[in-house]
A and B are shown apart, each in its own frame.
Chain A
Amino acid sequence: MTDAPSYTANEILAVLSARQLKDGQVVFAGIGTPLLAATLAQRLHCPSLTILFEGGVVGAFVEPGKLPPSTNDQRCAKRSNMVLGSADVLLLMQRGYVDVGFMGGAQIDQFGNLNSSFIGDPQAPKVRLPGTGGGNDIASLTNIIVAIKHQKRRFVEKVDFITSPGFVRGGKSRTESGLLRGGVFRVITELGVFGFGEESGRMKVLALNPGVTREEVQDNTGFTLEFDERLETTAPPTTHELETLRLIDPDRLFTA
């Protein structure tokens, strides 16, 4: 038996996120881990994945070693199928052309709502965060995967501010808000893979990452987690997955 390869938290985040994608899908990806994971999937099991960026790119094919510093830089557009205006690429989601939206976030709660706007009272914020960008659009219009670092201060019972809606207040509150399609269906962290109760809209653990215990996940979460009856343990990143990832991001721009 060979030694299991070692990896960073950001690397397992990218690998497990990539595994969630299916070949042939149309994916709207944000910057950082989402861009990296979508590109990784494209080089592994999803050769016909179509990647969209909010800068206006349709059918991105990011060059290994030339990761863009944002999804609005020229590197995003090289070798793509098409460039559109930013509003028009976002409207593709509203019309329903996009299978999966893929994003990060600063803070998430039990209903999968994301906050990237304010820490503290929005009227007198302790910290003014960068804001939604396309995050609210992606979360409002598509089924999303969220890749996020697992820390107690990030996994809270109720976010200070809903920038990008998940299941809002649970139950039917998302659709009652007027959001008729989409919603958060997976959260990926360095500790596990999470889904949401069909009725409750509450987060539950679907799988633990290799070597991670139930207690460890719960201890790093600011609300009580449900564990799926068929709780699984995720297979560790393979050497092939990690080598491909490191080829795409040799400078460790998004995987340090």
Chain B
Amino acid sequence: MLEAQVEPYKQLRDNMARRDRGLREKVTTLEAAASFVQDGMKVGLGGSTMSRTPMALIWEVIRQRRKNLSVSRCIISTDGDLLFGSGAADHIVTSWFAQGILWGLSKVLRHGVEADGKHFEEWSHLAMGMRYRAGGMGVPFLPTRVMLGSDIAAIRPEAKQIDCPFTGEKLLLVPALNPDVALIHVQRCDAYGNAQIDGLQFMDIDLALAANRVILTTERIVSNDQIRRAPDQTKIPFFCVDAVVEVPYGSAPHECYGHYEPMLGHMEDYVAQVNADPVNGMRAYLEKYVYGPKSWVDFLALVGLEEVLDASRNGRSIYND
């Protein structure tokens, strides 16, 4: 109920008009980029489940002790845990929130919702997609044929059922979602923010178009000439992007297509620790892996070279025959 006030079109356009959309270099530090996220904002996360999660940015947002964020993502896992467990977010908008099929339910989610006043606002996966797409199209809603007849629609008064004015068929209208800031991790982009995504793109293009600001982390920054050699690979245009940070392994311990698979040893230990005790286990994890390290490189060192190399070998194997 906290969410889904659709931004009036004039406000959406005024926000856009105020953005500096000129061709300019936007490379900055992780600290400066994460500070675009302020308390109480609506934050959209790119990637899905354990893939291309903007983990370094989330990590830095938590280190900056942000509060009362409303975070949306098509499917959320460890990142949702960390945002709930740290107190950075009290509201998560998604279609699925768990540790993943290998480990099952998230006890952090369960504790948050069942005992700690946190909100998990559930939409179907397609509905999440249509919400970002409506946001990216500059329209207040899109019609769908999902969620009808279900209790998800019953507990989502933000979604409106109508009789189609053309056919009389029942349709569900889902409201546009325009996050204040989108956090997205990509394989490569140039200093202007022209971003190329390899493999699965999930909802990142719609998310980038919908958001009022977009922060990119990237495995590597390449030249604009290199981008221009393969323009068909560019999925997000520079004028959507407000800041660029080069963060190798910026999705760790999750995967980044073609670069590394999830760091499963770390994930196993993480899930065992937080699912055993979602309060103290999470606190200890945050102390050691989020607040403790001096830098993202320091965090990767804690995950361990062996894990990182294993994940990299598996990640690159996608290009093997």
Contacts and interface: CB of A to CB of B under 8 A. Distances in A.
Contact of B199 (A83, A87, A168): A83
A73 B126 contact: no
The main secondary structure of chain A at its interface with chain B is loop
B266 interface: no
Contacts of B234: none
Given A74-B261, A87-B206, A132-B125, A162 B95 contact: no
Interface string B112-137: 01100000101111111110110000
B139 interface: no
Given A55-B48, A85-B203, A90-B125, A128 B145 contact: no
Interface stretch (B59-67, B102-110, B216-224, B297-305): B102-110
Interface in B7-66: 48-51
B149 A165 contact: yes
A54 B203 CA distance: 11
A130 B318 contact: no
A130 B203 CA distance: 20
Contact of B206 (A56, A85, A179): A85
A134 B200 contact: no
A179 B149 contact: yes
A70 interface: yes
Given A32-B101, A70-B50, A131 B96 contact: yes
Nearest to B47: A72
A178 B150 contact: no
B199 A173 contact: no
Given A69-B262, A72-B49, A132-B125, A117 B169 contact: no
A87 B203 contact: yes
Given A85-B203, A137-B126, A179-B148, A72 B50 contact: yes
Contact of A131 (B97, B149, B200, B315): B97
Interface string B146-160: 111111100100000
B122 A174 contact: no
B144 interface: yes
B104 to A, nearest CB: 8
Contacts of B201: 56, 83-85
Interface residues of B, number: 63
B205 interface: yes
Given A86-B202, A87-B203, A178-B161, A117 B126 contact: no
A122 interface: yes
Interface string B67-88: 0000000110000000000000
A221 to B, nearest CB: 22
List of 6 A-B pairs having minimum Cβ-Cβ separation, nearest first: A87-B129, A178-B170, A177-B149, A133-B96, A130-B98, A136-B124
5 contacts: A56-B201, A72-B200, A73-B49, A128-B114, A134-B95
Given A72-B50, A78-B318, A178-B149, 17 more contacts: A55-B48, A69-B264, A72-B202, A74-B200, A74-B318, A87-B129, A94-B126, A122-B151, A125-B113, A130-B105, A131-B95, A132-B152, A133-B96, A140-B149, A141-B146, A178-B170, A178-B171
Interface of A: 31-32, 54-57, 69-70, 72-78, 83-87, 90-91, 94, 117, 122, 125-137, 140-141, 161-165, 168, 173-174, 177-180, 253-254
